[in-house]
Amino acid sequence: MAEGESIMDTSEEDEDFYDTMEDLYCEEGGPPATLQSDYVPPPEVTVLHVGSDAVSLGVAPSGSSVKYKLHIEYSCGTRGGSLIMDECSTVDVDGLSPGTEVTVSITRTAENGIQSTAACVSVFTEPVPPVSVTVCNSSSESVSLQWDTPAGEVESFIVACCSDRETVQELATETNSATVSSLRPGLWYTIRVSARLTNGRISEPAVTSARTSK
């Protein structure tokens, strides 16, 4: 057999081999199913609700018939945890600290152990307003109040005294009591008390009303 003929036969065999591989990868516009199964789509996560001690997250469907599990890891201040669950549309993380940043990481895992990249979300839980605000004394020109300190790392309280929807006085205190003075006699006042946390976040106010004596 001539040398040139031998070389021609080898080239034809190589071409047939590469044609076969090209058909294998390009058929129906993608790689073989065995390669496709090695890919796990990362979850698309949205924040549905944020409370004082819990966060609710939405997880979009994978669009695949493959059954995945969700691996959730979270941290909130010095606290944290993890859990594994079957894939679902809503993930609730509770037992968190009020007014604190919480970071949640969610990863999809296939039955063969292959994982997706993680989707991370960071939000602040809501601060808790002061508890049981009560008027303990009032005179013709002052009102004294006290309240219970709420959960969370509270630094101080903001007390706003309003009349006819206008703030007539505002003060800050590090204790759980305050006296609003220089008021007018015989008038009703709305008093709002908010908690300021060490990270600067301010709670919604706890509201009460009081009337100065005539």
Phi/psi class of residue 28: alpha, beta or left (left: φ > 0; alpha: ψ in -120 to 50)?
A: left
User: What is the pLDDT, as a whole number, of residue 13?
Assistant: 55
User: What is the pLDDT, as a whole number, of residue 65?
Assistant: 87
- In degrees rounded to 5, what are phi and psi of residue 91? -120, 125
Over residues 17-58, the pLDDT tens digits come to 445 444 544 444 444 444 446 889 999 999 999 999 999 999
**Whole-prediction pTM:** 0.72
Decide: 103 and 122 in contact? Cβ < 8 Å.
yes
Closest to 88 measured CA to CA, from 129, 118, 59, 126: 59
CA distance 82 to 71: 7
Domains, the chain, ordered by start: 40-124 (2.60.40.10), 131-211 (2.60.40.10)
Three-state DSSP state, 115: strand
Decide: 148 and 191 in contact? Cβ < 8 Å.
no
Which pair of structure tokens corresponds to residue 105?
Answer: 């990481």
Please, what sign has the CA dihedral across residues 45, 50, 52, 53? Answer: negative
Task: Kindly compute the dihedral angle of the four CA atoms of residues 9, 10, 11, 17, in this order, to the nearest 10 degrees.
Answer: 110
CA atoms in the 13 A half-sphere facing the CB of 16: 6
User: What is the pLDDT, as a whole number, of residue 8?
Assistant: 44
**Average pLDDT over the chain, rounded to whole?**
86
Closest to 194 measured CA to CA, from 158, 170, 163: 158
Three-state DSSP state, 19: helix
Positions in the chain whose pLDDT score sits under 70: 1-37
